[in-house]
Amino acid sequence: MSRFFSRGRETMRKLLWASRFMHWLRDLMALPEDDPALAATQLAALSQYVPAFYLVLIFNLTSLAITHMRVAPPLLGRAIPLLLLITATIRLALWLHRRRHLTPREDAVRKLRAARRSGVVLGSCAGGWALLLLPYGDVYQRLQVEITVALTLLTCFICLISLRSAAILLGLIVGVPYALVFLSAPQTPVRLSGAGTVLVLFVTLQMLLRNAADFVALSHSERELQRRQRETQLLSDENSRLAYLDSLTGLPNRRRFFAELEQALSDAAQGGRCLAVALMDLDRFKGINDMHGHAAGDRLLSQVGARLRRLVGEGIFIARLGGDEFGVILRDCQGGAAVRQFAADVRHVLEAPCIVGDRLATISSSLGVAIYPDAGGTAEELFERADYALYHGKQTEKGGMVLFSREHETRIRAEARLEQAFRHSDMESELWVAFQPIVDVAQRKVVAFEALARWQSPELGLVSPGLFVPLAERSQLVCPMTAVLLQKALAAAREWPEHVSLNFNLSPYNFTSVETMSRLRTLVTGSGLAPSRIEFEVTESALLDDFEHAQSCLRELRALGARIALDDFGTGFSSLSHVSRLQLDKIKIDRSFVIDVHSSATSANIVKTIISLCDNLRLDCVVEGVETLEQLHTIAALGGHFIQGFLISRPVPAEAVAGLIAGFEAAAPHAA
Ligand code: C2E
Ligand code: CA
Ligand code: CA
């Protein structure tokens, strides 16, 4: 019973070993059926070495055929080698041809199988034929067969490194009979050299098997590396896409705009074509942001972005440059006509109302356009000129399109000259202040003087503040300029009677620097003039960029005891929210309503409404720009108390102020 069990265990162990061996053999023989990429790599490697294998085979077949042609029977000595040679040559030609053509991945396994089949069949036939030659010829010829078969097998092992199953099969089919023949030879030297050769072949096969495994691992890691590289490439593509995209509108961003502009310019230069650069911004966007909040502003921008995207097409590139500013490149534009058409298209897409805050509102935009090559040759020049055209377009009429022209060019040159002169000016000696009286109509009394900046340039003569104040703002010179002017105005005002105040204009840019605000406060406190006699004039536009900050600057000035007037009221947003949030002391009605106040019911109504608004809010109200008696009477009839204008006096130098006050006092009703 126990013998029966032990025999059974023995059989089981043998079966297990046999099954393990079969598994091992199957693994060795397997082709990468489920890994077409590996199969393609193997096939590519095979294509590099197999021709060498066939070359060696052809050479060895030829050499054996030559030496055995006469000693072996015709079938063995001529017919079979000829057939083998023809087949090997055809195979060689096929492989050389295949090397030049890429095999699709899906086909690689099939081709590997075919290569194995033909290689093994041909190799086995050649090996078999060589062994059949052994009985013929002398000892040298036997030696030649021994060496030739061994070398051919070695070559085949090396060349078939990427197709190990073929190498193993050849090793089994040719190597085993070879070993049997030589190891069983009666002559000891033949047996020994046969044993040595078999050992070399065995070791080579071992190495081949290990290398084949390395080859698979290498191929896997190479493909893994390629996959990672592809992934990295995709990530980097996505990164650069995002780096060039404006996330709010989905349009390309500023960086992309300039890259595109450079490219478009070089294309236009090469092709001798023209190109338009347009800058576009939304009218009154700052006010919308301020009144409805930044979230509403962002929402509006994304609506506008979506509509502008519809205009993008062949030769039309649109990007968001920042804020409410958009940049457009029109390639191959046929002069102004294409640009005008584009401006009309923009108007058309913006026609439908947009959601602004909690209501619908119609949005308009202004465009400034510069055309290459007329307006400039480089991206910077074109951009600056389009910006210039936009800036001037905004000043004259909003919602329009302005093409950069020769007139703009002349103006730019004049401005550059002006800027140069202003930069090199000695502010202390060249800037001075003129004073224009503000009078109480009923009392016929001067209540204040507005300080108005003047620049006496040694090079350009007397320059209007309408020119040099914006220039100073643009070139960051406004803060030193304001300090010089305030100091001079305060010094002059110290000489005036107690009841006469000083009105001083502040620029929006004064609020941007903490140092300037603190310098202005120091000047006021150190002037010796009661701060209650100083009134700072600000325009609404000064407040829009950063309302909270401007508000806190004004609060600081009020804390000193100074008063605040809202200048040019009626021209900007004329927002009641500004009036109520700012703690104002005065509103100055802009000159534009006064020009026709006596003849236009609309102007008269506006003036009347603002005057009564001021009465209700207990604010003082000054009507600016009164030039005629007619205007004066109308304003008085509308309830205006304080006026300023050429009718009373033009701005005069500081020395003339005392005489002016005296003249008024002499003419006042109570003086009579
Ligand atoms: P503004 O603050 O509205 O000053 C009133 C302007 O209207 C002055 O022009 C004044 O001469 C002019 N004006 C006064 N009455 C009449 C009139 O009856 N008819 C006409 N046609 N004009 C009249 P000016 O001195 O040329 O100043 C222009 C602008 O330059 C000022 O407008 C102000 O915005 C700016 N500015 C002047 N001085 C300063 C300053 O010291 N600092 C700042 N930031 N801006 C200043
Ligand atoms: Ca003013
Ligand atoms: Ca004004």
Q: What is the model's pLDDT at position 672?
A: 40
Dist. CA 628–CA 637, nearest whole Å: 14
Let me know if 298 is a catalytic residue: no
**Cβ 148 under 6 angstroms from ligand 1:** no
Dist. CA 37–CA 89, nearest whole Å: 29
**Is residue 61 within 8 Å of residue 69, measured between CB atoms?**
no
Half-sphere exposure of 296 (CA within 13 A, CB side): 17
**Cβ 155 under 6 angstroms from ligand 1:** no
Choose the residue to mutate in 473, 505, 538, 630 for probing ligand 1, maximizing ligand atoms within 8 Å of C-beta: 505
Dist. CA 219–CA 627, nearest whole Å: 92
The CA–CA distances, whole Å, from 404 to 365, 419, 471 equal 17, 20, 20
Collapse the DSSP code of 209 into the 3-class scheme (helix H, G, I; strand E, B; otherwise coil) and give the result: helix
Query: Is 357 a residue whose pLDDT tops 80?
Result: no
Highest mean pLDDT among 33-37, 69-73, 393-397, 428-432: 428-432
Highest mean pLDDT among 22-36, 144-158, 318-332: 318-332
**Cβ 452 under 6 angstroms from ligand 1:** yes
Nearest in space to 347 (alpha carbons), one of 304, 388, 316, 286: 304
Q: Which of 246, 324, 568, 620 is catalytic?
A: 324
**Cβ 620 under 6 angstroms from ligand 1:** no
Nearest in space to 309 (alpha carbons), one of 265, 258, 350, 358: 350
Ligand 1 atom at shortest distance from the alpha carbon of 453: 38
Segment 206-233 shows an average pLDDT of 82
User: Which has more pLDDT, 77 or 399?
Assistant: 77
Q: What is the model's pLDDT at position 2?
A: 65
434-454 pLDDT, tens digit per residue, is 999 999 998 889 999 999 999
Res. 608 pLDDT band, cuts 50 70 90? very high
Least distant ligand from the CA of 453: 1
Choose the residue to mutate in 422, 452, 523 for probing ligand 1, maximizing ligand atoms within 8 Å of C-beta: 452
Output the CA angle 633-638-639, nearest 5 degrees.
Answer: 100
- Which residue has its alpha carbon closest to ligand 1 atom 25? 452
Q: What is the model's pLDDT at position 459?
A: 92
Flag whether the pTM goes above 0.85: no
26-81 pLDDT, tens digit per residue, is 777 778 878 887 888 888 888 888 888 889 999 999 999 999 998 999 999 999 99
Segment 274-302 shows an average pLDDT of 88
Segment 176-199 shows an average pLDDT of 85
Res. 671 pLDDT band, cuts 50 70 90? very low
- β-bridge pairing 642-644 and 431-440: antiparallel
Q: What percent of the chain has pLDDT over 70?
A: 96
Ligand 1 atom at shortest distance from the alpha carbon of 464: 26
- Cα 459 to averaged position of ligand 1 atoms, centre (Å): 23
Task: Provide φ and ψ at 442, rounded to 5°.
Answer: -65, -45
**Cβ 622 under 6 angstroms from ligand 1:** no
CATH pick for 254-404 out of 3.30.70.1400, 3.30.70.270, 3.20.20.450, 3.40.47.10: 3.30.70.270
**Is residue 96 within 8 Å of residue 51, measured between CB atoms?**
yes
**Is residue 516 within 8 Å of residue 536, measured between CB atoms?**
no
Nearest in space to 124 (alpha carbons), one of 77, 166, 86, 79: 166
- Which residue has its alpha carbon closest to ligand 1 atom 19? 625
232-277 pLDDT, tens digit per residue, is 989 888 888 888 999 999 999 999 999 999 999 999 999 999 999 9
Query: Is 514 a residue whose pLDDT tops 90?
Result: no
Spell out the CATH class of 418-664: alpha beta
Query: Could you tell me the residue ranges of all domains in the chain?
Result: 1-26, 31-217, 254-404, 418-664
Long-range contacts at 131-136 (CB < 8 A, ≥ 24 apart): 131/174, 131/177, 131/178, 131/181, 132/76, 133/64, 133/68, 133/72, 133/76, 134/181, 136/68, 136/71, 136/72, 136/76, 136/77
- Cα 567 to averaged position of ligand 3 atoms, centre (Å): 5
**Cβ 505 under 6 angstroms from ligand 1:** yes
